[in-house]
Every structure is written in C-alpha cells, then in structure tokens.
Structure 1
Amino acid sequence: MAGETNNHFAGRAKTVIQARDVTYHQAPEPPPVPDPHQVPPSTPWFVNRTDDLAGLSGWLDPDAGGPPRIALLTGLPGVGKRNTARRWVEDTRGRYPGGELYVDFAELRGPTGGGADVSAALTGLLRSLGTDDRYLPTSLGELAGLYRTRTAKRGVLVVLDNVTHPAHVSTFLPAAPGSAVLATSGRRLGELVLDGARLLPLEPLSAKSGARLLADLCGAKRVAAEPEAAARLVAGCGGLPVALHLAAARLLTHRRLTIAALVAELEKESGGLDALSLDSANGMSVLLGAACRDLPADALRLYRRLGLLPGHGFDAETAAAADGSDAATARRLLDVLETASLLEDTVPDEDTVPDRHRLHDLVRRHARDLAEADESAAEREAALRRIVDHYTVRAAFADRAVMGTRLRLTDHDELLTGHDDPFAGPDARAAALDWLEAERADALAVLRAAAEHGLDRRVWQLAESLTALYLHHRHLADWIESGTLGAAAAARTGDTAAEARLRSLLSRPLMDTGQHDRARAELEAAVALADASGHPVLRASVREFSGRYWDRFDPARAVRVYEDSLALNLAADEPRGAALARLFLGGALAASGHHEAGLAALTEAYEQLSALGDVRMAGRALAAVGRLAENAEALGRAAEMLRKTRAAYYEAEVREELAGLLERAGDGAGARPHLARAVELLDAGGGPRAEELRERLSALS
C-alpha cells in the first residue's frame, strides 16, 4: 500500500506515516474555534443609564468569582432594556475569557408568538462553542448537560433577550465560576430570585435625557427651532426611548412634518398613538400589543378599562370600579398586569397611600384605544359612571372623617348607605387626608370627566367633598377649578342650595390668589341663592364666608355680617356654626378697634370649639387669641393642635407668626425652628411665600 492515497482525504492536507508496508493517513487537528462574540451592537444614540450600567457592573463582576450570577432587566415596553444590555456588554467586552453568547427568544417564538424552541437555542450555542453536529444530542436534557460541560472551563457571558419564562434563564446558566447571565424581559420573573438573580427594573428617561436623545436623533438645530413643541414631544413620549426613536424617524422621514404637527397628532385623546408609528409592523401600538398578547381574557378586559380612567393613578378599589368587579378580583388581575410590566408602581413613602399603581401615558392611550375598539359605547359609559360613583362615595367618606359634622349639602345618608367605610378606625382622619392627597390629581380628572359627560349631581357632590382636602392643604388652583365646576354643575341641576354652598367655598381660594372682584361676585350670588333656598344653616354659612371678604376691605362691615351669621346659627340651633361665627367676629372686632370685645369673643369661640371636639378650629381660635394678646405660649399650643390635625396651611401661618413674635423679643434661636417648619409646610403645599420665608430663615442662621 506504499505510495497509495485514500480518496477519503482527497483535497485535504494530510500527514503520511510509513510503518513497514503500511501507510497511515492522519487527519489534521481542526482549526481552533474563535471565542464567540455574538451580542449585537447597541444603537449609537444612547443617553444616561449611568446608574443602571453601574448596577449591572457591580452585580455581574467577573472578577468576583464564585457561582455564575444572573441579572434581569425589566420595565415597560420600549423603555430600552435591550439597548441597555447591549451597551453594558460593549463596555465590558474582554472581561469574560470564554466570550459572549446571545439568544433572542423573540426570534425563537416567531411572529405569532407561542413557545420558544429551547433545544434549537442550545444547539446553536453549542455549535458556537465548537461542537460538531455529529456530536449534538437530540434530547433537551442531554443538550443542557453538554452545554454545561462546554461552559465549565472559562467564564462566559450569556445575554438572553425577550425572555418570558424563568426556565429560559436557568437552562442557559453556564458552569464556569465568574460566568454571568444577563437577561431582558417584559415580564417580572420573580421566580428567578430563587436562583439568586438580581432584578433590575429600568425607569423611563428623565425629561433632560429625553430631550438630549431627541436632539441626538433629529439634530440639535431642528429641535432648537421648535423648543416648546420639542419639550411637549419629549413629555408625550414619557421617557420611553423607543417612542422617541419612532417620533424622530417620522420627523426625519417626512421632512415637512413639523414637531408641533407631530405633537398635535400625539396629543389627540383617541388614536394619538398613530403618531408614533412608521407602518403596520413598527409602532408603539404594535409594541404594546405584543406585550398584551399573552394576557388572559379577564386581565385584558381590566387593562382596556383602566384606559378609561380619567387619571393615571389608581388602587385596587378604583380598578374594581372600572372593571365592574370586586377588589379581590382586581388585585389578582393587577398582579397579572404588573408581571407583564404594563403597570408602574407609585413609590410609597410616609406621605402617600401604599398599593397604588399608575399607567404610563402611552400605555394608557393604548388601553383606551383597545377599549374604544373592543367595547361598546354603553359599556364605556357604564364604566365611567362606576368610576365617578366610586370617587364620589370615597371622597364623601373622607370628608366625613376629616371634617366631622360640618355643614354639607350632600346627603350622606342617601349616598353612603350600603357602602363600607374605608376610613373607619382610630386613625380615620389621617388616613382620609392621606387618601385625598394621594388621589388629588386623579380625583380632579374624574371631576372634569364627570362634568364633560353631564353627571352634574355627582360633580357638585364630589367638588363639595374635595374641599376637605383644600381647606387643609390649600391646593389653590385645584380648588378654584373644582369649585367652578361644582358650582356650574349645581346651577345646571337647579339646586340653589348646593350652588350657594359651592360658590361660597369657591370664594376662599379666589381671595387667596388675589381675585377679589370675582370672589365678591361669587359671594353675592351665594347669599342670594342661600336666601332663596331657605336653608337656615346655609344662610348663616354664606354670610360667614362673606365676612371673610369684608375682613380685608371693611372690618366694620365684617362685624355686621358676622353678627348676622351668629344670629342665624343661634336661631337654627347650630352650635358649631355659632362658634365659628364668634371666632371670625372676634377677629373683626379687634380689627375695628374693639380689642377687649374681640379677645372675649375669640376666647369664647375657643372654649366652645374645644367642647365640641373640633381640634382644628379650636387651634385656629387659640392662635387668634395668641396673636391678639401677643402670647407666644398660646401660639405654640395652637401650632401643635394644628400640626396634630394636619392643618398644614394654618400651622404654617401660626409658625410664622410665632417666629416673628420671638424675633421681636430678641430670641432668634427660638424663632428658627418655627420658621423652618413653616418653610417645610409651604414647600410641601406649593405655597408662594416659601422662598420669602426661606430668606428670613437664612438671615437668622
């Protein structure tokens, strides 16, 4: 056989070994398999995420050694999970000696969804690691075992995109110490924590980072030409990088499309998401639709109806009202939506109500579009009525917990019968104020929607109840809008008493914002309406509010008005109303030069309000006594009473007065903590004088 060749090795380099009369042909070693670097590149336009990248580096540190680690990036559809993962890989390339492997589960599932072919993914990775097809097992278990064997010697990074199941991650865990798996998912796969995973939710970009990204995409010159429209576009995209990329793509594709015109499309309440769409396969609706694809029918129904909420934040009870179900069912379905990353949690702290959720604006638009497409007008109207009824009942319970037996025109016996009181218990007042504050923006949105849909009786009832918040925390712009809508709704129903009540309440924020002429007009209308209604306590109440106006312009006339209010309250056997009339009468008497009579009236009011258990108003009466008598001890006690009842606006006012009294007495050190507390309260409530008091505080330091 010497000198013969073997056709099996024809065309290939070979080594010939002669041994006596036998010639051996030895095939060469196969060329070395290069280390895999399979992760696709990130986009050139990448902003911020410094903290997120640092968090990944801190957790997935290959130098730390030890068992392989897992990190899961989650977040809203379009928030940039995939691009963040890819950018981190680029920043850390070379630190994993075995290279970087990559699997995209969306490609494995195909365009119609369904289960991913894990065996196919393992087969592809094993080929990348140098395994010849002849040696690839056929069963999933054997493939996984061989994968662990091939990744046992050198640390490797495995990047898994669009994971939908915890097993997808654990199956691809390499064996070598110092290895890591970085996965992205639209689902919150909490089970991975059992495998030692770190869950890293991505938040939307800040407004500043969003503006920078838009300028990078479209060009700074184009953005600078329409700065206001650009800011609205960034806000409308809500910090979602994909939305900003889609907006930029439309602007660059259609050069005649202005940013302002694109914003006008986006801000349409119905169909606005079409502004962020390039074609039937590329758009925010498509992206969000994919996130909804695997939702159970009942969770998808809740998702649609959450889009009908006028506001953005909600709790389980509000969700149940929208859905027409109960709170337990709503909580279960909210968990499903939260797992699908379709909800954003509000972050609870000491000043907020826990267990609240919100919809990102673009998610809300998508949900609303689905509701308009899949539910009838009657179903949508019924959902809105349930939402309005829920807020009206809940706010009435909160009003009762905060304000006790104050005058109100809403018939609580009629409205609240058959409903459980959510604020029952020893901390009812504090819980009610917390709820009102947490729901402030959303309750006002519900009020607007109710007015737009002609639910006038509910509008004025809800507006009346919301004053329990405004009287304590002084959100003046909200109060003016709420009072205006409520008074107009009461007028449309022909309820003169309710209209008088709302107009008198409306005068307070109008005066606080310097709109004195309008306040006077509202009060004059309120007095006439109250007199026409014949409601004796209401007639007394609107005169009390009228006296507040005259306090500022004509104290002598204020005295006469308060005396009328006092007489009407006494005739109606209304002790709280009479005590309040005495309180304000005392101030007017003092302002008119009748110091002793004023002090006597204020002292009597304080005693009567204390006997009635009205700590907040008793605190205000004591503050008036301390103010008139220049008594620091009385002012200090009053401030504490107001603090305990969380009457922030009035506490700030008393703290400022007490600080001034101490300053004049030469006790700057004693004044400082009261002034600091006043600044804190005004800052929290958006008080316009916070900066002025801050300057005073700085001067004391």
Structure 2
Amino acid sequence: MAGEPTAGGTSNHFGGRAETVIQARDVTYHHHHAPAPPPVPDPHQVPPGTPLFVNRTDDLADLGGWLDPDVGGPPRMALLTGLPGVGKRSTARRWAEDTRGRYPGGELYIDFAELRGPSGGGDLFVALERCLRALGVADRYLPTDLGELVALYRTRTAGRGVLVVLDNVTSPAHVRTLLPAAPGSAVLATSGRRLGELVLDGARLLPLEPLSAHSGARLLTDLCGPERIAAEPEAAARLVEGCGGLPAALHLAAARLLIHRRLTVAALVAELEQESGGLAALALDSANGMSVLLGIACRDLPADALRLYRRLGLLPGRGFDAETAAAADGTDPATARRLLDVLDTASLLEDAMSDRHRLHDLVRRHARDRAESDEPAAEREAALGRIVDHYTVRAAFADRAVMGNRLRITDHEELLTGQEDPFAGPGARDTALDWLEAERADALAVLRAAAAHGLDRRVWQLAESLTALYLHHRHLADWIESGTLGAEAAARTGEQAAEARLRSLLSRPLMDTGDHDRAREELEAATTLADASGHPVLRASVREFAGRYWDRYDPARAVRVYVDSLALNVAADEPRGAALARFFMGGALIASGDREAGLAALTEAYEALSALGDVRMAGRALAALGRHAHSAEALERAAEMLRETRAGHYEAEVREELAGLLERSGDAEAARGHLSRAVELLAAGGSPRAGELRERLLSISPSGGHPAPPAFEERGPGRSPGKR
C-alpha cells in the first residue's frame, strides 16, 4: 500500500564492503559490517643456523627420538648443555630447521640472553608477552599479571602442536613456564647450566661434547677454504687441537685468518700456544672472543666457586680430584667437592661423572688468565706450593703401599707424620698403584712445575716416589724425564744420597731404551756419590744396578759387582737387598758358565724373597729358575705371581718366554695367547719392543705352520728377551 511502512531489507555491496538496508516505517537503517581481520600467520621465529654445520649426527638423532612430533602424547622438553662455545645454539637451530613444518602451530623462539635484566623474573614476563604477540594476541589484551599471562599462553597453545626454542635459559622456570599445552608440542632449550631439576618434569638432558678432531678439521676447512688449510696441514692440525673441538673457537680462529690474510696458520698457533695470554689469539676485539664467552659463563658464580675456578687454572696438569682441588684452593676436600659441583653445574668441568675432573684446555687457559689478573703473585706461589706438597705426600704414601719396606732416601717419618694415609685398609697396594697410574701425566706436570719454580727438595722426593709406578708399569719416557729432573734437583741441593739413588734408578729405563752409554755414565756417577754419602744400603743398591748393566756386556764382571753388593747388604743387615743381590748374581753366574752355582743362588733368592713376602721379586726369581730349567709350569706360576702384583713389564718377559717354549713344543694356540698378552703389556708401558713382538705374533700360525723361532738362549734374570 502506498505510504505504508515497508518491513524487510536488502543487502548491497559497495566497493567490497557489505551493507544491509533495513526499512521500518519511514526510516531506513544502514548497518555496515567491519571486515574480518586477516588470519594470524603461524609463527616461524627460529633464526637460521649456520650453513657450515658439521657432525652432531648422533645428537640430532637423540633429539629426533625424544621430540618427534609425530609421536604425539604430552608435550616434551629437552635441554642441550655443555661447555661455552660447544655449539648448543647451532645444534638447536639445526634441529628446528630439520623439523620446520612438522609442528602445525609453528615455531616460537626466545633468547633469554637478550632479555636478561636486573630483576629476577622480568625476562620470563617479557618472554611470555613476545610469544603471545606471535600467537596473535594484541598488546591491549595482554594481562599485566604473570599468572594470567601463563594461563593465556596455555590457552593459545592448546589447539595445535608448537615447537618452542629457548636459548640461554638460566632457570628451570624458563622451560617449565613456556611448555605449550597441545599434545605433540615440544620445548628445546639450551643452557650453560645443567638444570637437573628439569628431570623431575620429565625433561631429557643432552650434554654436547666437543667435536672430534676429524669434525674440527672439516669445520676449519669449510670456514677457511681448502687451499688455505692445505698450505699448512701440520699447523692446521695443531690449531684444531688447540681449539679443543669447540666450534666457537674454530670460528674465531677462522675469522682471524680471513680478516688478516697475512697471518699464517702457524703464527696463529704460536699465539694460541703461549701458556699465558694465549686466549687472545681467539679474539676479534674486546667484545668478541673466547675470553668473553667464558667470562659470561663465570659471571654468576659465587665468589668462593670463582676463586676455586681461578686456582684450578694454576694446576700444572689437566686432571684433578677433590683432594687436589682442595690443595689448590687452600681448603678441605668437602668444601672443594661442594664448589666443584657448582662449577660442574655451570658446565665448566669435564669428566665430572667420575671422581676425577678436568678443565677443557681453553677453560684452563681462561682460569689461569683470571688467576694471573685477580690473584696476587704471593697467593699464586702459595697455591703451587700446596699442590706440590699434596702430590709429594700422596705419592710417598702410594710408594709405601706399593713397595713396602724398600730402600728410600726420602724420610717418610718426617714427610708423612700427621698426614692421613689415603691408601690405608684392604687392597691398599692396588689402590695406590691405580692412583699412581691415574695421576701419571699430572704428577709429571707437577714435577716439571716444581723444578721450574726451584722447589728442589720436593722435586727429588716426588721423583723417587714415582719410581714405584715405573718399576711396575714401565712408562719409560716418563721415567727418564722424572729421574733426570729428580737427580738434577738433588744435585742442586747437595743431597748426594738422593742423587745417587735417582741416577742408579735412571739407568734402568735408559738401558731399556737402548741408551747404554748414558746408563753407564749415570751408574758411574751414582757409585761415586753413594760411596761419598757413606750410606751402606745405598752403596749396595747402586752396585746391584751396576751389575745389571754389566750383565749385558761382561757377566764375569757383573758377578764381582754382585758379590760386593751382597757383602754390603749382609754387613748392613739388609735381608731383602741380600736376596736381590743373590737373585741377580744367579743369572750372571749362569751366563758366565757356572750353571750349578747360578741355580743355587736363584733358589736361595726365591726362598728368601718368598719368606719376606715379596711376591713380585719372588715371581721374578721363579721365572728365572723356570727359564733355565725350560719349565713351562714354573713360568706359568711366575707369570701369575707377576700379574697378581701388576708387574707388567716382567710379566711380559715371562709371557714371551712361555710363548717361545710353547712354540717349540707345537702348542701354537697357547703361544699366541701368551705373546698377545706380552704385546698388550709392553704397548701399555710404551716399550719399543711391542712392535717387534707384534710382528712375531703375526708370524705364528694357529695351525702351527710358522717359521721356526730362534734357539733358546741363556741369559741373566735382568735381561729382556732377545738382548745380551
């Protein structure tokens, strides 16, 4: 009807804008619909990793097995830890790249190092805000309360699986709070700290180890170019070794080589290998270098842990236990263990799964640099003195446990009275020998440092005690260096008896390595010094060592020297020394043609040494008797006695003898077993004869079709097989 209001409406579109027209009576209403906001894109925030990424195959596989988004189930957490510069961030980014697109909700990224502020928790607040913005929440809708932020974050991540990558986290709360809610989600975090509490939340802790030498060389070549590395292959290998498998160090080294084209690899290595200040070689400027990176790792250490860190840098060796750390720090072992736990949590220690620890070479350099800059010179000297004293006392206790009541120049009563014996109780001998073996390289480093700082009395005392190890495990190069340093230190202090003792002992590894001329010189000097000292047992002992030299060249003269040694031992009422003189004299008598007298002397020596409870030397005497009687049974018993006392060098001699005897009897299989054991023992001790015996082992056919071995030859009990 004309003039009547019209009910209803129409819809029109103008320029893409929807308009609804509603007519009521004589009024027309126009209602405009706001356009729908564009959809929020899924976040893909993880920065790209380095294209020069090597190895880490096993680490990426571990992450894949744990964080696989296709497995579903509750959200998972993984934490990559390790030394500063070991590649935690690049490994996390490579994993994120490899899995891009497999998390339907995208990937979020937070670097807590950027957010670190003076107030605790502020960084977490900002991290949540950033994540929520990336998930489409406008600033005006962001709560101002931390709890409400967390609740909103969980709501926004409840729909689709999300990967969250967190760098440089310092608190378990960083990881727990940012765990997405949707099944199949994951948090992959990196930290310089071992945040073990996260295990309670089901997290997987994955410590990264430094790169292998092969992977380090490959990375350096990729960074510098193959031509640059091929031009100096030996220097490049030393550079890779000096960087210790830390990708950050290799990147810094490569950057210096690329920036300074006239800098050779060898020159860079020379800078790095300087003991003091060498870390400056791995720096581009004051803000980019390994010292800066390691300084960040130390930044939050408590004062007492930082002090221990600095003083550990003063250790001459690389390995240490809690007792050694306590000596360096001037504290007690319990306190040292607590502080070592702090350093371990900060990823500044290696091998912390055992009772022995070590500092990575670059970490040790940084700690030493901090000590030189922050510790007074007097305290550094005092720390070294405590370290040397610790090793001297501990090695003396070990010597006593291993060798019993033997000739020593070190006054154990003076040195050890009031000290706690770490090797007391059952199994003391084996425990002491294990300690000496474990500390072998570090004890020698301490000896060198003590000699360099003029601590001469401690040098010869420590060198004398270390022979307890060398007599059993025969580390010949170490023995020669230790004995030389000890003898020279004793000479500087005018300790004639100590010098004579060490020079006579030194003759043994010199003869074993074929340096017979120097061995003779040492023995001649030792004889003169021992006679001048007036020490009767020492005079007898030096002659015993001299006799063992003459065994090789003049058995009749050796007999005369042993007779002198026997007489001096008897006069001094030294039954063990007398038994040893008879033992060595027996072999010399046989070698000089008096077999009956020689066997009688060996038998008397065996009985006397057995009565004294000296199983090691009794085993050697029995071996000599078995050798000259061609008795496999006696040699078998002797080999077991020497194995029992862990006298590896002498056990190897007997095993070699047995192998020859069994070869001749046609038992090739048993011969191979004994010879294989001999090779193992000699190789462990660094003997040059290991290679010779290995070749002989290869020549023995299990079926018995092998070249005939050389004819059996008589020799003195102190001789190595095959040597006259």
Report the TM-score, using the length of structure 1 for normalisation: 0.96
Matched residue count: 685
Structure 1 counterpart of 2:75: 68
State the Cα distance separating 1:13 from its structure 2 match: 5.9
State the Cα distance separating 1:346 from its structure 2 match: 6.0
Contact conserved, 1:105 with 1:116, CA < 8 A, in 2? Answer: no
Q: Which residue type is aligned with residue 470 of structure 1?
A: Y
Structure 2 counterpart of 1:304: 310
Contact conserved, 2:476 with 2:687, CA < 8 A, in 1? Answer: no
Counting only pairs closer than 5 Å after superposition, residues 251-330 of structure 1 correspond to structure 2 as 251-330=257-336
Give the gaps of 5 or more residues in structure 2: 1-5, 7-13, 703-724
Contact conserved, 2:476 with 2:686, CA < 8 A, in 1? Answer: no
Separation in 2, partners of 1:87, 1:415 = 57
Contact conserved, 1:17 with 1:23, CA < 8 A, in 2? Answer: yes
SS at match of 1:552: coil
State the Cα distance separating 1:693 from its structure 2 match: 3.0
State the Cα distance separating 1:114 from its structure 2 match: 6.6
Structure 1 counterpart of 2:683: 683
For residues 224-250 of structure 1, what are the alpha-carbon distances to aligned partners after superposition, in whole Å with 9 as ceiling and x for unaligned?
Answer: 111222111111111111011111111
Q: Which residue type is aligned with residue 105 of structure 1?
A: F
Separation in 1, partners of 2:555, 2:20 = 121
Structure 2 counterpart of 1:117: 123
Further displaced range: 296-305 or 58-67: 58-67
SS at match of 2:150: helix
Structure 2 counterpart of 1:426: 426
State the Cα distance separating 1:672 from its structure 2 match: 2.8
Structure 1 counterpart of 2:705: none
Counting only pairs closer than 5 Å after superposition, residues 169-184 of structure 1 correspond to structure 2 as 169-184=175-190
Further displaced range: 510-519 or 144-153: 144-153
Further displaced range: 87-96 or 442-451: 87-96
SS at match of 1:424: coil
Separation in 2, partners of 1:121, 1:115 = 10
Structure 2 counterpart of 1:212: 218
Distance of aligned partners of 1:316 and 1:12 in 2 relative to their CA distance in 1, 3 Å threshold: farther
Contact conserved, 2:559 with 2:585, CA < 8 A, in 1? Answer: yes
For residues 271-312 of structure 1, what are the alpha-carbon distances to aligned partners after superposition, in whole Å with 9 as ceiling and x for unaligned?
Answer: 111111111110111111111100000001000100100011
Determine whether 1:19 maps to 2:22.
yes
Structure 2 counterpart of 1:97: 104
State the Cα distance separating 1:36 from its structure 2 match: 1.1
Determine whether 1:193 maps to 2:194.
no
SS at match of 2:437: helix
State the Cα distance separating 1:113 from its structure 2 match: 9.6
Structure 1 counterpart of 2:144: 138
Structure 1 counterpart of 2:551: 551
Further displaced range: 494-503 or 690-699: 690-699
Further displaced range: 535-544 or 64-73: 64-73
Structure 2 counterpart of 1:350: none
Q: Tell which structure's C-alpha radius of gyration is larger.
A: 2
Contact conserved, 1:109 with 1:115, CA < 8 A, in 2? Answer: no
Structure 2 counterpart of 1:5: none
Determine whether 1:495 maps to 2:495.
yes
Separation in 1, partners of 2:670, 2:15 = 96
State the Cα distance separating 1:584 from its structure 2 match: 0.7
Separation in 2, partners of 1:568, 1:17 = 125
SS at match of 1:47: coil
Structure 2 counterpart of 1:351: none
Report the TM-score, using the length of structure 2 for normalisation: 0.93
Contact conserved, 2:220 with 2:254, CA < 8 A, in 1? Answer: yes
Q: Which residue type is aligned with residue 33 of structure 2?
A: Q
Structure 1 counterpart of 2:65: 58
Structure 2 counterpart of 1:360: 360
Counting only pairs closer than 5 Å after superposition, residues 30-49 of structure 1 correspond to structure 2 as 30-49=37-56
Separation in 1, partners of 2:695, 2:107 = 57
Determine whether 1:411 maps to 2:411.
yes
Counting only pairs closer than 5 Å after superposition, residues 293-692 of structure 1 correspond to structure 2 as 293-345=299-351, 354-692=354-692
Contact conserved, 2:513 with 2:688, CA < 8 A, in 1? Answer: no
Contact conserved, 1:13 with 1:28, CA < 8 A, in 2? Answer: no
For residues 395-429 of structure 1, what are the alpha-carbon distances to aligned partners after superposition, in whole Å with 9 as ceiling and x for unaligned?
Answer: 00000000001101000000001110000111101
State the Cα distance separating 1:673 from its structure 2 match: 2.3
Separation in 2, partners of 1:68, 1:604 = 77
Q: Which residue type is aligned with residue 228 of structure 1?
A: E
Structure 1 counterpart of 2:719: none
SS at match of 1:42: coil
SS at match of 1:97: coil
Q: Which residue type is aligned with residue 67 of structure 1?
A: P
State the Cα distance separating 1:690 from its structure 2 match: 2.9
RMSD, aligned CA: 1.6
For residues 495-523 of structure 1, what are the alpha-carbon distances to aligned partners after superposition, in whole Å with 9 as ceiling and x for unaligned?
Answer: 10000000001111111111100000000
Structure 1 counterpart of 2:720: none
Separation in 2, partners of 1:678, 1:545 = 25
State the Cα distance separating 1:557 from its structure 2 match: 0.9
SS at match of 1:700: coil
State the Cα distance separating 1:67 from its structure 2 match: 1.1
Determine whether 1:106 maps to 2:109.
no
Contact conserved, 2:395 with 2:436, CA < 8 A, in 1? Answer: yes
For residues 537-569 of structure 1, what are the alpha-carbon distances to aligned partners after superposition, in whole Å with 9 as ceiling and x for unaligned?
Answer: 000000111111111111111111111111110
Further displaced range: 254-263 or 357-366: 254-263
Q: Which residue type is aligned with residue 162 of structure 2?
A: V
Contact conserved, 2:410 with 2:461, CA < 8 A, in 1? Answer: yes
